[in-house]
Amino acid sequence: MSDTSLTIDNILAPELTLCRVPASSKKRVLETIAEHIHHQDEILSDTEIFSNLVSRERLGSTGIGQGIAIPHCRLEGLDRVIGVLMTLEESIDFDAIDNQPVDLVFALIVPKEATSEHLELLSQLAEKFNDNGFCEQLRQCQDAASLYQRMTAAS
């Protein structure tokens, strides 16, 4: 176990906080996540990230209900955890467990080896997103800066 425990505010960068993203489908959301990560770090392949996210979704939707999805995957050769927070312009079908459309997405890309840290982050995210008031605050953000601030202030 490392000395610095992973928290949402040390894996989420302002550049990977996206507000009111137009997306027509789950596939488009996953593509947008992969493209933005690649744009931030060109060493990372957007094709590989997208492919890994899609593979994970095939195991079961990461739509956790109440309009929220936490797509995640492992990535070979990654040396840190990357988070991407997005609110969507319009809710989309994400095959969520409650069959509700999704408009709040937090993607998590973790190193291939990360296991307990990965699960700890998923747990932190699920706990935050379990708070309806907090989710409503995120949904009301009008720009990426306020969205980032709201997400990290509460951790």
Tell me the chain's radius of gyration from C-alpha atoms.
14
Distance (Å, whole) CA 87 – CA 100: 15
**Catalytic residue numbers, as ranges:** 72
CA-based end-to-end distance of the chain? 20
Q: Show the beta-strand stretches assigned E in 52-142.
A: 63-65, 68-69, 72-75, 82-92, 102-111
